[in-house]
Homo-oligomer: A and B are copies of this chain.
């Protein structure tokens, strides 16, 4: 099962080439990931919650989500678009204290012909904020995330 997270571009995501910048792309994926996994914002509001959103993301929360690695293939440049792009997100691997989040970045949903802009993978490590050491994925998290476990991305350009 894949989660569809609509992400709005900003004009400032473009660089001087007139396309969404390569580094900025990872910022869009970061936002999709935060919406998908964090249950709340700094105020505790759960406005955009998905069933995968079981981590407390507020300042001072017990768990930090650190990034261990990322890999991304850029398939087509993205221009400034007003309709939100369609980030499809699933879990390629559920480890002991880490998970691999997979993404496909698609053109805005419902706008005719679909275009795949990019494919990416992020390894997230759950870290205990107090000890600063990795901590195991717990049962609540595993139950929430298992339905989104699917085949990992096969990168074509390695």
Contact = CB atoms under 8 A, between A and B. Distances in A.
A151 B30 CA distance: 31
Interface residues of A, number: 52
A2 B59 CA distance: 34
A141 interface: no
Interface in A54-70: 57, 59, 64, 66-70
B23 A10 contact: no
A130 interface: no
Contacts of A155: 69
A69 B67 contact: no
Given A11-B16, A14-B15, A69-B157, 10 more contacts: A10-B30, A11-B34, A16-B59, A21-B27, A35-B82, A43-B79, A43-B81, A69-B71, A69-B73, A69-B158
